[in-house]
Structure 1
Amino acid sequence: MSMKSRLLGMAFASADVLLELDGERVTFALGAGPVPGVDPGAAWAGQPLDTILDPACQNAVASQLRKLKPGVRSEPVGIRVLTGDGRARKAIIRAFALPELAPFISCALVWDGPPVQAETPKPILDARGLLQRLGSILSQGGTGPELAVDFLEIPGLGAADEAHRRAGARIEASLQARSHQGASAARLAPDRFALVRDSADISDLAEAIRTAGVAEGLNLSAITSRGELGKAEAAVAVRTLRFALEDCLKDGAEAGSRFGERLKRTVQDADRFRGIVRERQFSLAWQPILALDSRAVHHFEALARFGGAAQAPTGPISMAEELGLIESFDLAVAEKALLQLRQPGFGLTKAAVNVSAVSLTGDGYVQGLLRMTSAYPDMRKRLMVEITETSELADLDAANRRVKALRDAGIKVCLDDFGVGAASLDYLRKLQIDIVKIDGAFVRDIETDAKVRTLAGHLVDLCRELKIETVAEMVETEGQAEAVKALGVDYGQGWLFGRPTPTPALSAPAAVGKRVGEVVGWG
């Protein structure tokens, strides 16, 4: 008896199938197939190992193969081998890397029970489903693993032919199996995917894509990028991921290569913004709003400024709105404004503070502001809340209940940027407000554009009929001031009347033939 026959007999005494792999491709197979009539040598040789395995166990096998050291047998891995007829058969596989056979890997497979119906793979998610899935994972709390999100772009995968369609299905199943709990992968576009994984999982997704392509005779390659979420708060993590994904999906080719960088930057920016709010590392600049008939200062708008900047921090504010961080900032601005209003020298100065419409989607802001002013009820009469970003007010009935709570407490409410967007009239109809601010786009062209002047006039007339006062913003010239006054606008704001200053300037710049006055009441 030859030594070869003796060794082969010993091998089959402990295994049902002998395999040889080159990387993750089957180069040789010998033994009993999963069902009668299936010859492993004929059916499996030349195929990627993933093509014969249930997707749910592909990641575990790939992980063991990557960790395999020469001369050391792997740990046993439970797998399910597809039979080709809608069933699967459980098995145990072990691998061994003999140094003189490198790079080939020897494997022994032992069947474990009869074939059973294959499990239906969990369908891949879409973008919305991925965000909901992430929120569900994080909301469970506990001491779970830190998470990462992998973004993949596969150029050419969106082609309409059958081979690319089948490859796409293979990739969906493979990525889903490799995702957190086997259910956290999404197809965002025909050629773009994202999946949530444990941060410690660094298995090569690009190789899985290549393998899926080879199985369909395609040469596919993936551009991959990873972003770490850590153990972020659920709501912030979900919004951060959405922010980064939308940013990448808007871009063209190879946007995925920058996903990790964008997600990391967004997480850092969010942390920095929270620190700014927590430490109150912002200042207020006060810009006067004047009565157009008397040029007396009516009230001031308290404008937030970061790092000594002269302009409004639109970038950070937009990010904070996207990530759900704006409510705490809006309350911090109100707190700082109220503290300044109570300082000596401020007299009975009245002020408007901005609140994002996002902050009115819940009860937190209104409750916080009412608590903040409960010890100083007279301050409420000196305060106005100016709602910005009105396009975000989806549930107007709920928003109006919160607006009403402010007005019932004596706090005036202003609607900013009125007249832009098709929903403006709906806001005016459903929100019980005191003042609207005519968008500066009307004021800019009001002297030269008859259509703009006519439209602005109708808006002012409508507000007057509803007993709502009006403010024209971005007034920079006497001509503009006279034009909006002629239309019946009550108040004006802009550089003509005064730029934002660190403290309220109770006297506005004098205009030719006009006088300036002291602060007057709300109306």
Structure 2
Amino acid sequence: MANIAGKVPGRFLGYAFCVGDLLLELDKDYKVLNADGAVKSTLGITPDQSFCFLDLLTEKGAGIITSAAKTLTGANRLGPFMVSVGGEGAVRERYSIFMSKLPHAPDELYIVLSKPYRLGQKESSNVSSTVSPAQLEENKAEFFERLEDLFEGNPEAEDNMQVTVIEAGEGERLDTGQQRDLENYLKSFSVGGSHAAMLANDKFAFVHERKEGSEKVDYVETIKKATGVALEAATINAADANLSEKDSMRALAFSLQQFADGSDGFDVSEIAAKSDELIGGTAERVRAFRKVLDEGAFSLVYQPIVNLKSNDVHHYEALARFDLPEMISSQWEMIRFAEDVGLILEFDKAVLYRTIRKIRELGNVGETPSIAVNISGRSLSDTEFKLDLVATLKGNKDLKRYLSIEITESAKISDLDSLGEVLSEIRNEGFRVYLDDFGAGASGFQYLKKLQIDALKIDGDYVRNATESKEDRAFLRSMVTLCRDLGIVTVGEWVETKEHAELLRSMGVDFGQGYYFGKPNAGLVMPKAKAS
């Protein structure tokens, strides 16, 4: 058996060995053509032996490898997933496997085997006895990434694969053991043993081969017999849903998230009846928003934030406005949808860059305005976006007096510790950071404990009825007192009347924003001061 080192440049071997213990090149029958690395210690054979890699695996492991190989085209890659490997008579060890093909060698399969600890994985493939909400979100995100890697630009996988969603039957309550068993069963049925995930406490999804006729498998009945759990399921044909197209893949991920959240129209029965319609309609909305991005088809308007003591404009908030497509009813819905389908990162970058240009343009012809730009909590959960944001701000450090960042929270921020580090870096560069809509949605006092911010915007729901509601006034006072003790500036939203402004001023709120002071305006017109 030839050694692979004679064919592959050393830099590629070095790259592979950063995470791998063994590199294999297989032919279409899974016979090992070349091997490099710990061949003897890993496989229990000598490097010059000719053998079939499947012979070193369990029946389950061989099934994982063969089903995964069918989805490889040279344009995608799979892994990591776990298999047990070992020669005849030897104790098999668990390895994480990555698989791929090269476009110019469609009949050859390349595999990297890594000890799980090298990838930060535990030896056991079981999920922990309890899954925290943060871990569940992380597992879903990983599952969606694997889906994209599997299908995007890969019509062959699309033709051969299906996505099935499963939900515990009505009245079924799953304990952690049942959740673990269900997820493990689904992984064993899934492509490569790795394309399955728990989406919610009683909801799962997995990708599997499309089988017809006598080969067709009733997965629900099989799992029900093994676990005793009554299940409901719906299957989405990848080809019918056009999952090789990027927008359709985003639409599928959105639909699965809606299924996990229990949103209307996305339960098992609806998915079973009209999955193509659900995904097709969502893909149309994705394309509409992508057109906005590609053509820059949005404008910015600016609403003043006023100092409640002096009645002078302190700064403006930049707000995006679109020509809405027919299927989207409001500006907020458009933004929320962009978050859900993963397009908000690109949009937040576009708004940031346009705001920077606006500040510079106005600074060249007159007084430079101060503007706060909204950044989604979903964007700030993305590592690449955070790095790009910090780099952009450092490149425009001369605008630190005029540009501030306002964190919006229509999507829950999952990693507050990581976000806190980024915000500290932004503030160290001299830029101010605001937290929007405090008291609404998922936000809580833990945000103030974890995040160092300059100002907090009190959600308008607490302001709108505060002149009549004793309870709302009590909430307002507690927020203002806490922020004062922490040295955080406060901004009251939805200030629509003189009475609202006077109430906030009497409570010690620093700034106000709302129609009473000025509506969003494209021209950055300074409103006249309101009388006290």
Q: Same fold (TM over 0.5)?
A: yes
Q: Can you list the C-alpha shifts for 1:294-337, whole angstroms capped at 9, x where unaligned?
A: 21111110001111799962222222222332222111111111
Q: Is 1:323 equivalent to 2:338 in the alignment? A: no
Shift of 1:404: 1.1
DSSP-derived class of the 1:275 partner: helix
Query: Greater shift after overlay, 183-192 or 265-274?
Result: 183-192
Shift of 1:266: 2.5
Look up the match of 2:242. Answer: 228
DSSP-derived class of the 1:145 partner: helix
Q: Where does the alignment leave 5 or more consecutive residues of structure 1 unmatched?
A: 1-53, 58-121, 161-168, 515-523
Q: Is 1:243 equivalent to 2:257 in the alignment? A: yes
1:426 aligns with one of 434, 438, 446 = 446
1:307-386 equivalences in 2 (<5 Å): 307=323, 313-344=331-362, 345=365, 347-386=367-406
Letter in 2 for 1:245: F
Shift of 1:181: 5.7
1:44-443 equivalences in 2 (<5 Å): 132=142, 135-136=145-146, 138-139=148-149, 145-147=156-158, 149-151=162-164, 180=191, 195-196=206-207, 201=210, 203=212, 225-226=236-237, 227-230=241-244, 232=246, 236=250, 239-240=253-254, 242-246=256-260, 251=265, 254-256=269-271, 257-307=273-323, 313-344=331-362, 345=365, 347-389=367-409, 392-420=412-440, 423-443=443-463
Letter in 2 for 1:359: S
Question: Retained in 2: the 8 A contact 1:175–1:195?
Answer: yes
DSSP-derived class of the 2:351 partner: helix
Question: Retained in 2: the 8 A contact 1:412–1:433?
Answer: yes
Question: Retained in 2: the 8 A contact 1:138–1:234?
Answer: no
Letter in 2 for 1:145: E
Shift of 1:131: 7.1
Question: Retained in 1: the 8 A contact 2:378–2:413?
Answer: yes
Rounded to whole Å, the distance in 2 between the matches of 1:507 and 1:249 is: 42
Normalization by structure 1: what TM-score? 0.59
Rounded to whole Å, the distance in 2 between the matches of 1:464 and 1:428 is: 12
Shift of 1:236: 4.7
Rounded to whole Å, the distance in 2 between the matches of 1:438 and 1:385 is: 16
Shift of 1:272: 3.1
> Which of these two proteins has the greater Rg computed from alpha carbons?
1
Question: How many aligned residue pairs are there?
Answer: 377
1:19-38 equivalences in 2 (<5 Å): none
Q: Can you list the C-alpha shifts for 1:166-194, whole angstroms capped at 9, x where unaligned?
A: xxx9xx999986x6468757898999985
Rounded to whole Å, the distance in 1 between the matches of 2:192 and 2:248 is: 17
Shift of 1:487: 0.3
Shift of 1:497: 0.6
Normalization by structure 2: what TM-score? 0.59
The root-mean-square deviation of aligned C-alpha atoms, in Å, is 4.6
Question: Retained in 1: the 8 A contact 2:153–2:244?
Answer: no
Shift of 1:235: 9.2
Question: Retained in 2: the 8 A contact 1:176–1:184?
Answer: no
Question: Retained in 1: the 8 A contact 2:165–2:203?
Answer: yes
Q: Where does the alignment leave 5 or more consecutive residues of structure 2 unmatched?
A: 1-59, 64-124, 173-180, 226-230
Shift of 1:338: 1.4
